[in-house]
Copies of this chain bind each other. A is one copy, B any other.
Amino acid sequence: MFKKVLIANRGEIAIRVMRTLKEMGIATVAVYSEADRRALHVRYADEAYCVGPAPSRESYLRMDKILEVAKLTGAEAIHPGYGFLSENAEFAQACADAGVVFIGPPPSAIEAMGEKTAARRRMIAAGVPVVPGTEHPIPTAAQALVFAEAIGFPVLIKAAAGGGGKGMRRVDEASRFEEAFDGAQREARSAFGNEACYVEKFVVEPKHVEIQVLCDEHGNGVSLFERDCSVQRRHQKVIEESPCAVLSEEIRRKMGEVAVQGAKAVGYVGAGTFEFLLDRDKNFYFLEMNTRLQVEHPVTEAVVGVDLVEEQLHIAAGLPLRFTQEQLSQRGHAIEVRIYAEDPANQFLPSPGLIRRMVVPQGPGVRNDSGYDSGTEVSLHYDPMVAKFIVTGETREKARLRLLRALDEYQVDGIANNIEFLKACLVEPDFVSGSYDTGVVNPILERFKAVKPLEGEDEALALAAAALSLHLRRAQSAAPAASGGETDRDGWRDFGRARQVSRLST
């Protein structure tokens, strides 16, 4: 096994990977941008090196700098996390050329699956069912429109190099198509440095169900079953769960077999995910393969009882898989929510800033993976995800209720966040029943008020609380320093000084 591994990422995923590395006795090397000097992942690592200024292109995407750090520190392998260089075949190749193990699939497999239309063609050849669409990127909006009209609206415009919903647009009518296509290209160029977009049929009311696979260098491959990621807002996953509530054992087995078959067809090695659309009749269509660890991997870890990062390490070290398909099973139910620094009261716009207080739920069946803590800052330069939070329960309903309990305990103060919105999703009847599709969020968005204002006695008691908070801080501030209490005062002294204890003249 490796003795030292570099993690070419930041935030929660860098820390999540490092936790497993520490458990394996492997030394950790972090890289960071100038904006992340104070980031938690730098503190958590054994070694840490700055690789450039804040913009990703000048730091986290600098292959040369990152490989230089690997050389300097003697790191034998690089874990790319998700995003950044994780699906970059050129980087995987550069690692190989530099004699450093890339913890992920071979460059050829990334290439085969990375360009979405090429991947579609490969999968069609491998016998994997796909959604009807263009097989190549289309250069202009006008040409794309011709195709869209041929397969019929609604259609989906997607960035060929894309992922995570960036550069993705659903278009329901021809009149809005060209503007959307231009916007998608612009966003794709900005996000991936590649504006190529393609068009495919939009499957109405589908579930987004994906299959986790693991393949080793020795030709073995297994499915770790499915995740239902249908709760999405603007094509960004918000809630993920495993198992999928509507999947029969038979469809589950079929999807797993198809995914392993598809992975083998491209010589895949490592952890990867096959994303499918599942329609009302339980037909499933290949969407794309993510050739990396996913944000939502913990729901699989919880239900199957494995540590996917540890398995990645074993595979990267050339070891055979430690289990067969027959040895794997699902037990219980897990749900993950993504906690974002975004403002539901303000069109969900990102709300970077200082997290003044973060309190994470505890007790049975919860897991929190975060790159932030009280007093740390969510930077505007990177993804606004503050944490992924996972609950496990014996049944889906138990997990759902546990998640509601836990979210009541979760505090992220100082920045706007989506916790109340997540709660609203969890009580939506379609989510409760499990039969929801990717449109489940839309009616919630319409109804959702970020903050339900207090009324009647509750409002009066809240005013009492505010006044007591003021009063007690004043009292504490006036108390003799000799009491020695080094408890948190939240800067009360500054505030207290500016205040007057006097009567309001109305």
Contact B23 A405 (CB under 8 A): yes
Does A283 make an interface contact (CB < 8 A)?
A: no
Does A503 make an interface contact (CB < 8 A)?
A: no
For the complex, give the distance between the alpha carbons of A394 and B323 in Å. 12
Chain A 386-402 per-residue mask, 1 if CB under 8 angstroms from chain B, else 0: 00000001100010011
Does A305 make an interface contact (CB < 8 A)?
A: yes
Q: A25-B401, A360-B360 are in contact. List 19 more A-B contacts (CB 8 A).
A: A19-B363, A22-B405, A23-B398, A23-B401, A23-B404, A305-B332, A307-B393, A307-B394, A310-B398, A331-B331, A360-B362, A362-B367, A363-B368, A363-B369, A366-B367, A486-B490, A486-B491, A489-B491, A493-B493
Nearest chain B CB to A362 CB, angstrom units: 5
Does A354 make an interface contact (CB < 8 A)?
A: yes
Cβ contacts under 8 Å, A24 to chain B? 401
A305-B332, A486-B356 are known contacts. Are A402 and B366 too (CB-CB below 8 A)?
no
Chain A 204-223 per-residue mask, 1 if CB under 8 angstroms from chain B, else 0: 00000000000000000000
Cβ contacts under 8 Å, A325 to chain B? none
A398-B23, A401-B23 are known contacts. Are A16 and B363 too (CB-CB below 8 A)?
yes
Q: Which one of B364, B368, B404, B493 contacts A16 once the chains associate, using CB atoms below 8 Å?
A: B364
Nearest chain B CB to A45 CB, angstrom units: 13
Residue among A23, A481, A484 with the highest chain B CB neighbour number at 10 A: A23
16 A–B contacts from the bound complex (CB under 8 Å): A19-B405, A20-B364, A22-B408, A23-B398, A298-B364, A301-B364, A354-B487, A356-B486, A362-B369, A365-B367, A374-B488, A481-B491, A481-B494, A486-B490, A487-B491, A488-B488
With CB as the reference atom, state the residue of chain B lying closest to A492: B486
Copies assembled: 2
For the complex, give the distance between the alpha carbons of A23 and B369 in Å. 22
Contact B488 A375 (CB under 8 A): yes
Does A110 make an interface contact (CB < 8 A)?
A: no
For the complex, give the distance between the alpha carbons of A334 and B484 in Å. 40
Cβ contacts under 8 Å, A310 to chain B? 398
Does A456 make an interface contact (CB < 8 A)?
A: no
For the complex, give the distance between the alpha carbons of A374 and B23 in Å. 27
Does A124 make an interface contact (CB < 8 A)?
A: no
With CB as the reference atom, state the residue of chain B lying closest to A368: B362
Chain A 14-30 per-residue mask, 1 if CB under 8 angstroms from chain B, else 0: 01100110111100000
Cβ contacts under 8 Å, A305 to chain B? 331-332, 394
A-B pairs, top 8 by smallest CB distance, nearest first, are: A481-B494, A486-B491, A19-B363, A486-B490, A23-B401, A375-B487, A22-B405, A362-B368
Does A117 make an interface contact (CB < 8 A)?
A: no
For the complex, give the distance between the alpha carbons of A23 and B365 in Å. 11
Does A485 make an interface contact (CB < 8 A)?
A: yes
Nearest chain B CB to A328 CB, angstrom units: 11
Chain A 181-213 per-residue mask, 1 if CB under 8 angstroms from chain B, else 0: 000000000000000000000000000000000
Nearest chain B CB to A280 CB, angstrom units: 32
For the complex, give the distance between the alpha carbons of A503 and B365 in Å. 54
Contact A363 B354 (CB under 8 A): no
Contact A398 B307 (CB under 8 A): yes
Residue among A20, A25, A493 with the highest chain B CB neighbour number at 10 A: A20
Nearest chain B CB to A355 CB, angstrom units: 10
Cβ contacts under 8 Å, A488 to chain B? 374-375, 488-490
Cβ contacts under 8 Å, A331 to chain B? 305, 331
Name A336-385 residues within 8 Å CB distance of B. Answer: 354, 356, 360, 362-370, 374-375
Does A306 make an interface contact (CB < 8 A)?
A: yes
Cβ contacts under 8 Å, A306 to chain B? 394
With CB as the reference atom, state the residue of chain B lying closest to A393: B307
Nearest chain B CB to A394 CB, angstrom units: 6
Residue among A364, A484, A488 with the highest chain B CB neighbour number at 10 A: A364
Cβ contacts under 8 Å, A393 to chain B? 307
Cβ contacts under 8 Å, A368 to chain B? 362-363
Nearest chain B CB to A452 CB, angstrom units: 18
Cβ contacts under 8 Å, A489 to chain B? 488-489, 491
